[in-house]
């Protein structure tokens, strides 16, 4: 891209909201330049005579600064630093010392280096949220705050004032415009319940007045740690006042994207706010009165201005045209700019007369200039209103979509409501502020001005808006002398032109939503801000003569009443209006937001809770490697010096099967259940009977869903006639409690049963192995631990040697003699350490989840969620014994469906690789040996190969001295003895199907 | 109900001081981190070992009975906390030693669920077992539940002029004094973690997460406090 140094104006000697004592050095594409405090990057560029920015995204056309705000489609930069940030509009980027930027060609690249800046979130509740701080917003905030309401005022700019910053010479409420801004700001900041947030853009508006805003806090980033660079505000507001202003529309004509074509209001803003003159010889092309203000300020700044007004001659002496002529300007009416001379920058404008139909009415004449200021009319910024499904209506006089029906508890005021006169903005804003304060319960104090007048009717107010707006002659596309539409840019960022819209309608598109997607107009950073209405207007021209009935009704912003305009002859109207076409849908975010800002502080360790048991510090000290189980950090295995995982797991397995080992089982879900009907309730929830479970005993139970699929399992103890203690799987704790509550509350409220989670009240240590009895005997001297005195599936309340009260159960998840010691959680570490000490003489070994998995898999104890996936019944797991044939329980009726009894169900078996060292990947597919045909595993098979099952768990067994796996296989039990092929990663391995239980089938080890 | 007693006789005496000394609070290992994060504007510490009892009751007379046992009128709406004295001088001290007492707060959690919070039994001499026994007797055979959940949660105290600003970073509720006056307590979320949030004084807030979430909650609070350290 070549750097075009144009000779445009530069910095004016005085004026502007600048601190001229504070020059700021910055670098753009390696060139050092200077601006002042108060500048944006764009205003500093304009002041340095540089309108030219990067090229366009696809067509690589030279582009220039078009706007002075968030709607900028061309001037994007990358800010270089430790972490580059891309696609920032130069028009909103506050100039700061040392800023180093690179111009972008409409697209940026995410920096893959980490962003070490901090981003955080803040929640705020307001009685009244005021969005925008132009005259309407300031008036609203002032009134709303006067009665003591909590008011939050949001302004995306770094200064309050909105349009007043570009109108510093006017009088507002009997003061200078900027004095008014300063006085309201002081008043607001002095109010204890008011928060003023500048650099904060509300980008999303959701139900119940929930707003999301992004605050850019770069100015405070130099502070110590903990101060975020950007802050995401979550706002809950009782009342919302939208005072968000309007966007000026460009005009669609040939080469309307050449650097030096700029919105007329932006030209005024650069001159008035930043004392930066974008051009000295200006052609000002307008469709309305508002641009004459730009002509006035340009003249005052020493520029020459030629006005090209699309409208015909307005004879009234009070007209803007007459005023400009009196001021010595050349005003050419019923004319248009039909083309631009220059490509890297404007050197001239081709101007021609146009007729009443907007067609060329004469040859084009070249007027030399260095700037073409354009005003195609105004588009109220309705994004936040529309995000809430607020209604819009096309107003022909205002030539824009204006909010029609309101959103509950919201007010739309000022230019965003089509109110363009500053005094009217003050009145409308003050009324809304008072209305919002009253609705919020904090009526404004009566001394405040502006809001007391009786409100006009909607019609009277609309007439007032129309008078202020004057006459607008929209030009949706100005014909080029050569008839081409190829460089009539509608959405400059997306490089979409009027020709693209023509192609869309030519392809049969009628709906604006279809045209948007066919062309990609408004899909980029523009989001309809400047391209939306021009596209819709263009469609009214392109669809002229078409049947308007072909335009689908019911689109956002569509005027239903105008949808079918019949002529006297009964034919559809020849020309649709923008109102009949309607708008596309407005969605959040209004301006781009970085993902890192949305993430806030929820990264790294703060991303999610890591739940730990009370013995966690012991596990860490003893070298445990941890496994994530849900949010829990569970010890996975405890490698000793020089051990890998396999060696550690083998040693842990050996200890549990041959000596004694212990495991932290604190994470199991625990629910205490009480009520006279608790036995009946459990009897219905579990597939096996619980009515007759004696006090002092526990029972393993399985729960199914109503469709008969295994849902959870665990052991439940009967503490008393009416009290039970249920354990659930670690991952199932919350869902099981929800499941029980659902049945208790909604299906069987008549049952006396009450449930409470006690998962975190108890800490559990499992002591496992043939020598566990000796360890327990030492720990709990009062307990009769003999085989006869303490049977399997019994529990005892006892006081441990330490004096701590405990509940000791005889439960096994390994097949070995085993105990579980339950104590209140805050004794968990002490008891764990006591177990370690008591077991020391027996060489007690801590073990983790991996060893637990191996031990239980050798016994074919399923893990819900590993052997089951929501399609597996207890019968499929070979657990017919746990399903009662006599009682009713959840899921029972499903078991009589044919699908549960017909052959072909996948059922649990073990599979043994013929290669004893091969550990199959979990998930490996199992196929018949002859199913492969000529398939070798290379590429894809020519025809699908039928799968008969898959591996659910796979380990090396220390006890068996070989690898093994559990699998769900179609009709598995009938295949015992068969050989299948396991398929994984393009490889195949032969496996033998066996009955599920591979170790201690008789259960002889349970009692030690 | 006779069989209940065959498992374990209700022990209502005070727990041996040596045994209480074995307790380890959920945020014990975070004490230094919390102290380091604390400063003039905002401070964080754990208030360990508070006695906490879940009370479930539906019938009005059952609710009244457990309230009488605690010496309070049970709160009946979200946010409400009732205050009373349990034990000495108060009512319903049936099982306690008689020479001790504790102030009690009862937090409304749902239409049939409350959390009774008393001081650490090591300080008050009121054993958890005594409170459970007293409430169980009061509830009687009626539908409901009395469950010791003292170990289930811990209590974190955030205090200072910037305490609310720290909370506003993670708590979605309106914490303005107009909406959340001193004495109010509710169940809410701190990021993904369920907590009871309790404003105990103008600038003092109690957060009660379940024990295994203490570290995560302390992490978020300490992170939010850095700005004010």
- pLDDT for the residue A1: 37
Contact B104, B72 (CB under 8 A): yes
- pLDDT for the residue A602: 94
Task: Tell me how many degrees the CA angle B186-B190-B193 measures, rounded to the nearest 5.
Answer: 100
Chain A residues in contact with B169 (beta carbon < 8 A): 120-123, 601
Using one digit for the tens of pLDDT, what is the confidence trace for A293-317? Answer: 999 999 999 999 999 999 999 888 8
- What DSSP state is assigned to residue A326? H
Using one digit for the tens of pLDDT, what is the confidence trace for A927-963? Answer: 999 988 888 888 888 888 999 999 999 999 999 999 9
Report the pLDDT averaged over residues A804-828: 97
Report the pLDDT averaged over residues A272-285: 97
Using one digit for the tens of pLDDT, what is the confidence trace for A20-42? Answer: 999 999 999 999 999 999 999 99
- What DSSP state is assigned to residue A217? -
Report the pLDDT averaged over residues A82-95: 95
- pLDDT for the residue B98: 46
Q: The whole model's pTM is what?
A: 0.91
Nearest residue of A to residue B49, measured between CA atoms: A826
**CB spacing of A797 vs B172 below 8 angstroms:** no
Question: Most confidently modeled of A373-377, A456-460, A522-526, A944-948?
Answer: A373-377
Q: Where are the alpha helices (DSSP H) in B91-203?
A: 121-124, 128-139, 163-168
Mapped onto helix, strand or coil, the DSSP state of residue B99 is coil
Using one digit for the tens of pLDDT, what is the confidence trace for A774-804? Answer: 999 999 999 999 999 999 999 999 999 999 9
Contact A763, A827 (CB under 8 A): yes
Of B213, B215, B227, the CB nearest to A226: B227
β-bridge partners, A414: none
Please list, in sequence order, all residues whose beta carbon lies within 8 angstroms of the beta carbon of residue A928, skipping any fewer than 6 positions away. Answer: A946, A948, A980, A981
Q: How confident is the model at residue A544 (pLDDT cuts 50, 70, 90)?
A: confident
- What is d(CA A43, CA A233) in angstroms, rounded to the nearest whole number? 28
Residue A854 in this model has a pLDDT that exceeds 60: yes
**CB spacing of B148 vs A225 below 8 angstroms:** no
**CB spacing of B168 vs A123 below 8 angstroms:** yes
Helix (H) or strand (E) holding A195: strand A194-197
Give how far B216 is from chain A: nearest CA, Å.
5
**CB spacing of A825 vs B228 below 8 angstroms:** no
* Residues of chain B by 3-state class (helix, strand, coil), percent to 5: 30, 30, 40
Report the pLDDT averaged over residues A834-840: 98
- What is d(CA B104, CA A644) in angstroms, rounded to the nearest whole number? 53
Taking each helix axis from N to C end, the angle separating A498-506 and A512-519, rounded to the nearest 10 degrees, works out to 120
- pLDDT for the residue A941: 86
Of A120, A719, A722, the CB nearest to B169: A120
Structure-block tokens of residue A705: 């869903």
Nearest residue of B to residue A121, measured between CA atoms: B169
Question: How many contacts does A have with B, using Cβ atoms within 8 A?
Answer: 157
β A795-799/A171-172 pair status:
unpaired
Phi, psi of A751 (to 5 degrees): -80, 130
- pLDDT for the residue A556: 62
Give how far A425 is from chain B: nearest CA, Å.
32
Please list, in sequence order, all residues whose beta carbon lies within 8 angstroms of the beta carbon of residue A478, skipping any fewer than 6 positions away. Answer: A251, A252, A253, A254, A336, A337, A338, A354, A358, A488
**CB spacing of A617 vs B176 below 8 angstroms:** no
* Residues of chain A by 3-state class (helix, strand, coil), percent to 5: 25, 30, 45
Chain B residues in contact with A208 (beta carbon < 8 A): none
Q: Where are the alpha helices (DSSP H) in A290-348?
A: 291-300, 320-326
Using one digit for the tens of pLDDT, what is the confidence trace for A654-683? Answer: 999 999 999 999 999 999 999 999 999 999
Of residues A74 and B5, more confidently modeled: A74
Percentage of residues of chain A with pLDDT beyond 70: 94
Contact B86, B16 (CB under 8 A): no
- What is d(CA A33, CA A338) in angstroms, rounded to the nearest whole number? 35
Give how far B16 is from chain A: nearest CA, Å.
8
How far is the CA of B192 from the CAs of A211, A614, A631, B168, B171, in angstroms? 21, 21, 11, 15, 10
Chain B residues in contact with A606 (beta carbon < 8 A): 191, 216, 219-220, 223
β A845-846/A661-664 pair status:
parallel
Please list, in sequence order, all residues whose beta carbon lies within 8 angstroms of the beta carbon of residue A851, skipping any fewer than 6 positions away. Answer: A637, A649, A652, A653, A656, A661, A663
Please list, in sequence order, all residues whose beta carbon lies within 8 angstroms of the beta carbon of residue B152, skipping any fewer than 6 positions away. Answer: A757, A758, A759, A760, A761, A825, B52, B210, B211
Give how far A168 is from chain B: nearest CA, Å.
37
Residue from B144, B216, B219, B220 whose CB has the most chain A CBs within 10 Å, to mutate: B216
- pLDDT for the residue A3: 40
Please list, in sequence order, all residues whose beta carbon lies within 8 angstroms of the beta carbon of residue A310, skipping any fewer than 6 positions away. Answer: A285, A286, A287, A334, A335, A336, A354, A473, A475
Percentage of residues of chain A with pLDDT beyond 90: 86
Residue A735 in this model has a pLDDT that exceeds 50: yes
- Range of lowest pLDDT (A231-240, A628-637, A928-937): A928-937
Question: Most confidently modeled of A319-333, B12-26, B196-210?
Answer: B196-210
Q: Is the peptide bond before A589 cis (omega within 30 degrees of 0)?
A: yes
- pLDDT for the residue A5: 43
Residue B95 in this model has a pLDDT that exceeds 70: no
**CB spacing of B11 vs A805 below 8 angstroms:** yes
Chain B residues in contact with A832 (beta carbon < 8 A): none
Residue from B20, B151, B222 whose CB has the most chain A CBs within 10 Å, to mutate: B151
Of A123, A720, A754, the CB nearest to B144: A754
Q: How confident is the model at residue A554 (pLDDT cuts 50, 70, 90)?
A: low
**CB spacing of B152 vs A614 below 8 angstroms:** no
End-to-end CA distance of chain A: 83
Mean pLDDT of chain A: 93
**CB spacing of A234 vs B172 below 8 angstroms:** yes
Nearest residue of B to residue A233, measured between CA atoms: B169
Closest residue by Cα to residue A851 from A645, A550, A565, A558: A645
- pLDDT for the residue A224: 56
Contact A239, A129 (CB under 8 A): yes
Residue from B6, B13, B17, B22 whose CB has the most chain A CBs within 10 Å, to mutate: B22
How far is the CA of A12 from the CAs of A7, A46, A170, A271, in angstroms? 14, 11, 20, 8
Q: Is A273 left (phi over 0), alpha (psi -120 to 50) or beta?
A: alpha
- What is d(CA B223, CA B205) in angstroms, rounded to the nearest whole number? 17
Residue B22 in this model has a pLDDT that exceeds 70: yes
Of A674, A722, A797, the CB nearest to B8: A797
Strand order in the sheet with A698-704: A698-704, A710-720, A723-728, A669-674, A754-757
- What is d(CA A883, CA A293) in angstroms, rounded to the nearest whole number? 86
Please return the burial class of A356, using the count of CB atoms within 10 Å of its CB with bins 0-12, 13-18 and 19+.
Answer: exposed
- What is d(CA A146, CA A139) in angstroms, rounded to the nearest whole number? 11
- What DSSP state is assigned to residue A502? H
ipTM for the complex shown: 0.93
Q: How confident is the model at residue A218 (pLDDT cuts 50, 70, 90)?
A: confident
Please return the burial class of A630, using the count of CB atoms within 10 Å of its CB with bins 0-12, 13-18 and 19+.
Answer: middle
Using one digit for the tens of pLDDT, what is the confidence trace for B121-157? Answer: 999 999 999 999 999 999 999 999 999 999 999 999 9
Chain A residues in contact with B216 (beta carbon < 8 A): 606, 608-611
Chain A residues in contact with B152 (beta carbon < 8 A): 757-761, 825
Using one digit for the tens of pLDDT, what is the confidence trace for A94-139? Answer: 999 999 999 999 999 999 998 888 999 999 999 999 999 999 999 9
Give the residue carrying structure tokens 């060292």. Answer: A917
- Range of lowest pLDDT (A540-544, A753-757, A895-899): A540-544
Beta strands (DSSP E) in A473-552 are: 489-491, 496-497
Chain B residues in contact with A121 (beta carbon < 8 A): 169-170
Of A606, A632, A695, the CB nearest to B219: A606
**CB spacing of A674 vs B226 below 8 angstroms:** no
Contact A161, A134 (CB under 8 A): yes
Please list, in sequence order, all residues whose beta carbon lies within 8 angstroms of the beta carbon of residue A561, skipping any fewer than 6 positions away. Answer: none
Q: Is A769 left (phi over 0), alpha (psi -120 to 50) or beta?
A: left
Please list, in sequence order, all residues whose beta carbon lies within 8 angstroms of the beta carbon of residue A993, skipping any fewer than 6 positions away. Answer: A909, A910, A911, A969, A972, A975, A976, A977, A978, A979, A980
**CB spacing of A610 vs B216 below 8 angstroms:** yes
Closest residue by Cα to residue A937 from A923, A953, A925: A925
- What is d(CA A256, CA A60) in angstroms, rounded to the nearest whole number? 15
Structure-block tokens of residue A53: 């920015």
**CB spacing of B192 vs A614 below 8 angstroms:** no
**CB spacing of A824 vs B148 below 8 angstroms:** yes
Using one digit for the tens of pLDDT, what is the confidence trace for A687-708? Answer: 999 999 999 999 999 999 999 9
Give how far B23 is from chain A: nearest CA, Å.
5
Contact B107, B196 (CB under 8 A): yes
Residue A402 in this model has a pLDDT that exceeds 50: yes
Give the residue carrying structure tokens 């806090």. Answer: A217
Residue from B120, B146, B152 whose CB has the most chain A CBs within 10 Å, to mutate: B152
C-alpha of A153 from chain center = 24
Structure-block tokens of residue A524: 């980029």
Using one digit for the tens of pLDDT, what is the confidence trace for A970-979? Answer: 999 999 999 9
Contact B191, B220 (CB under 8 A): yes
Structure-block tokens of residue A512: 């604006």
Q: How confident is the model at residue B8 (pLDDT cuts 50, 70, 90)?
A: very low
Q: How confident is the model at residue A571 (pLDDT cuts 50, 70, 90)?
A: low
* Alpha-carbon torsion, ordered A301, A302, A306, A308, to 10 deg: 0
- What is d(CA A593, CA A600) in angstroms, rounded to the nearest whole number? 12
Q: How confident is the model at residue A213 (pLDDT cuts 50, 70, 90)?
A: very high
Please list, in sequence order, all residues whose beta carbon lies within 8 angstroms of the beta carbon of residue A18, skipping any fewer than 6 positions away. Answer: A36, A37, A38, A39, A274, A275
């Amino acid at each position: 891209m070549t750097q075009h140094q144009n000779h445009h104006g530069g910095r004016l000697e005085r004026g502007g909201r600048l601190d001229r004592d504070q020059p700021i050095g910055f670098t753009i594409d390696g060139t050092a330049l200077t601006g002042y405090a108060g500048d944006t990057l764009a205003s500093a560029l304009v002041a340095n005579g540089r309108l030219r920015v990067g090229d366009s995204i696809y067509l690589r056309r030279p582009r220039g600064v078009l706007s002075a705000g968030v709607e900028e489609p061309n001037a994007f930069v990358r800010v270089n630093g430790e972490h580059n940030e891309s696609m920032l509009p130069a028009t909103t980027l506050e100039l700061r010392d040392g800023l180093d930027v690179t111009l972008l060609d409409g697209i940026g690249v995410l920096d893959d280096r980490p962003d070490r800046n901090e981003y955080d979130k803040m929640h705020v509740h307001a009685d009244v949220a005021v969005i925008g701080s132009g005259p309407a917003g300031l008036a609203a905030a002032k009134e709303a705050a006067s009665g003591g309401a909590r008011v939050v005022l949001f302004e995306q700019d770094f200064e309050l004032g909105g349009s007043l910053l570009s109108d510093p010479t006017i009088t507002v409420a009997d003061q200078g415009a900027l004095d008014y801004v300063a006085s309201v700001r002081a008043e607001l900041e002095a109010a204890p319940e008011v928060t003023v947030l500048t650099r904060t853009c509300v980008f999303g508006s959701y139900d119940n007045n929930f707003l999301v805003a992004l605050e850019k806090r770069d100015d405070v980033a130099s502070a110590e740690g903990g101060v975020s660079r950007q802050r995401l505000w979550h706002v809950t507001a009782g009342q919302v006042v939208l005072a968000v202003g309007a966007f000026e529309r460009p005009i669609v004509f040939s080469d309307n994207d050449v650097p030096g074509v700029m919105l007329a209001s932006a030209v005024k803003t650069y001159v008035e706010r930043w004392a930066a003159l974008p051009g000295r010889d200006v052609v000002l092309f307008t469709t309305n009165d508002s641009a004459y203000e730009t002509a006035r300020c340009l003249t005052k700044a020493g520029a020459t201005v030629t006005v090209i007004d699309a409208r015909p001659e307005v004879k009234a002496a009070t007209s803007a045209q007459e005023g400009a002529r009196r001021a010595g300007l050349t005003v050419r009416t019923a004319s248009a700019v039909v083309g631009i001379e220059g490509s890297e920058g404007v050197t001239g404008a081709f101007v021609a007369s146009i007729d009443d139909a907007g067609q060329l009415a004469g040859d084009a004449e070249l007027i030399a200039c260095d700037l073409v200021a354009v005003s195609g009319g105004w588009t109220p910024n309705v994004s936040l209103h529309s995000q809430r499904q607020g209604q819009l209506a096309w107003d022909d006089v205002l030539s824009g979509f204006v909010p029609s029906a309101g959103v509950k508890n919201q007010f739309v005021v000022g230019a965003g409501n089509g109110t363009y006169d500053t005094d009217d903005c003050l009145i409308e804003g003050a009324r809304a502020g008072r209305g919002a304060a009253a609705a919020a319960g904090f009526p404004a104090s009566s001394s405040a001005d502006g809001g007391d007048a009786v409100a006009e009717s909607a019609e009277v107010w609309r007439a007032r808006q129309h008078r202020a707006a004057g006459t607008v002659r929209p030009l949706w596309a100005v014909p080029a002398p050569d008839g081409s539409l190829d460089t009539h840019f509608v959405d400059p960022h997306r490089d979409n032109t009027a020709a693209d819209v023509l192609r869309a309608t030519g392809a049969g598109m009628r709906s604006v939503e279809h045209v948007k997607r066919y062309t990609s107009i408004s899909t980029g950073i523009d989001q309809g801000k400047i391209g939306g209405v021009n596209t819709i207007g263009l469609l009214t021209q392109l669809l002229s003569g078409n049947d308007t009935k072909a335009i689908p009704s019911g689109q956002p912003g569509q005027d239903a009443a105008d949808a079918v305009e019949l002529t006297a002859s009964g034919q559809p109207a020849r020309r649709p209006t923008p109102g009949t076409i309607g708008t596309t849908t407005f969605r959040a975010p209004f301006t781009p937001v970085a993902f890192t800002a949305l993430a806030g502080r929820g990264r790294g360790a703060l991303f999610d809770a890591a739940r730990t048991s009370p013995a966690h510090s012991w596990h860490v000290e003893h070298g445990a490697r941890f496994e994530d189980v849900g949010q829990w950090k569970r010890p996975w295995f405890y490698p000793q010096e020089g051990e890998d995982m396999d060696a550690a797991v083998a040693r842990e397995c050996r200890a549990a099967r041959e000596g004694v080992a212990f495991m932290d089982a604190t994470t199991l879900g625990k629910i205490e259940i009480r009520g006279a009907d608790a036995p009946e309730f459990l009897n219905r929830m579990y597939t096996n009977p619980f009515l007759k479970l004696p006090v002092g005993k526990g029972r393993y139970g399985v729960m199914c869903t109503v469709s008969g699929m295994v849902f959870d399992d665990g052991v439940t103890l009967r503490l008393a006639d009416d009290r039970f203690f249920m354990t659930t799987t670690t991952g199932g704790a919350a869902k099981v409690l929800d499941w029980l509550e659902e049945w208790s509350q909604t299906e069987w409220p008549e049952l006396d049963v009450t449930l409470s989670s006690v998962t975190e009240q108890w800490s559990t240590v499992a002591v496992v192995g043939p020598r566990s009895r000796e360890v327990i005997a030492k720990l709990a001297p009062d307990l009769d631990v003999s085989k006869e005195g303490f049977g399997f599936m019994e529990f005892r309340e006892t006081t441990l040697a330490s004096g701590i009260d405990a509940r000791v159960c005889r439960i096994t998840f390994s097949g070995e003699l085993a105990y579980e010691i339950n104590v209140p959680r805050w004794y968990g570490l002490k008891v764990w350490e006591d177990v370690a000490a008591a077991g020391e003489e027996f060489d007690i070994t801590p073990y983790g989840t991996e060893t637990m998995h191996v031990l239980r898999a050798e016994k074919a104890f399923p893990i819900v969620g590993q052997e089951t996936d929501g399609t597996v019944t207890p019968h499929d797991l070979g657990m017919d014994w746990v399903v009662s044939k006599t009682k009713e329980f959840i899921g029972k009726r499903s078991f009589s469906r044919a699908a549960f009894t017909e052959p072909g169900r996948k059922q649990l078996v073990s599979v043994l690789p013929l290669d004893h060292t091969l550990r199959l990947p979990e998930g490996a597919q199992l196929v018949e040996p002859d199913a492969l045909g000529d398939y070798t595993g290379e590429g894809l098979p020519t025809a699908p190969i039928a799968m008969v099952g898959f591996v659910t768990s796979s380990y090396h067994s220390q006890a068996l001295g070989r690898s093994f796996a559990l699998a769900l296989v179609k009709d598995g039990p009938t295949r015992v003895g068969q050989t299948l092929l396991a398929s994984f990663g393009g490889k195949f391995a032969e496996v033998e199907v066996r009955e599920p239980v591979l170790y201690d089938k008789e259960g002889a080890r349970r009692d030690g | 109900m006779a069989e209940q007693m065959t498992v374990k006789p209700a022990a209502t005496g005070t727990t041996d001081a040596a045994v209480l000394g074995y307790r380890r609070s959920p945020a014990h290992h975070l004490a230094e981190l919390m102290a380091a994060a604390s400063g003039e504007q905002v401070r964080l510490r754990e208030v360990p070992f508070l006695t906490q009892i879940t009370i479930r009751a539906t019938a009005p007379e059952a609710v009244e009975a457990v309230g009488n046992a605690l010496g309070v009128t049970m709160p009946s709406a979200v946010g409400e906390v009732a205050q009373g004295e349990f034990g000495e001088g108060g009512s319903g001290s049936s099982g306690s030693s008689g020479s001790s007492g504790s102030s009690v707060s009862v937090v409304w959690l749902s239409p049939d669920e409350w959390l009774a919070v008393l001081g650490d039994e090591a300080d008050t001499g009121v054993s958890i077992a005594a409170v459970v026994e007293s409430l169980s007797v009061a509830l009687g055979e009626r539908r409901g539940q009395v469950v010791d959940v003292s170990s289930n949660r811990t209590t974190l105290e955030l205090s200072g002029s910037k305490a609310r600003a720290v909370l506003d970073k993670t708590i979605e509720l309106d914490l303005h004094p107009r909406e959340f006056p001193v004495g109010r307590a509710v169940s809410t979320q701190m990021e993904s973690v369920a907590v009871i949030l309790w404003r105990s004084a103008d600038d003092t807030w109690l957060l009660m997460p379940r024990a295994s979430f203490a570290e995560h909650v302390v992490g978020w609070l300490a992170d939010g406090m850095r700005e004010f350290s």
